[in-house]
Chains A and B, each alone.
Chain A
């Protein structure tokens, strides 16, 4: 069974640009969550999508957005990039039920110059 796949793995952008990251969850998983991880910080929750609807949202500015498609694949977008957006962005999928163990991808490492 294939795991959670994130693309791209690495990318470099400059301030002011925008970026789109993609996540393909484990087959059969309907929930996709996104997290930001920076050095010295824990994982910061961005948002969760379940059946194409945003079910939960963390405390990030509106520059961070996401969506989920009918096949459960998800994308997140960050507009008007800032230096502080440099981070590892992790996607996690789960069945979405209350028993929800999260399965993480390897992450997309974004560097903003």
Chain B
């Protein structure tokens, strides 16, 4: 079946604008994760969903970041009033369930550039 998809693949935006990043997980996967990878840095956990609920939002860098998931499927990560330090690749992953027993499958990422 289809893997995890993300859109757009690339996004260039001006500082101060809002952006929305979309993730379509693998069908049937109840868990969904968002990560950020800055240039030359490791993966930074942002938020995860179990169904439509986000039990752990501790990784979100600031209150400009928010995420939602609807219908237990598609998720949207929104960044308001973007800053240059938000430039990074945003990766989404899904798994059959939450927790360390399940394998994660990653999408190709969205490369965000804030000018």
A binds B: no
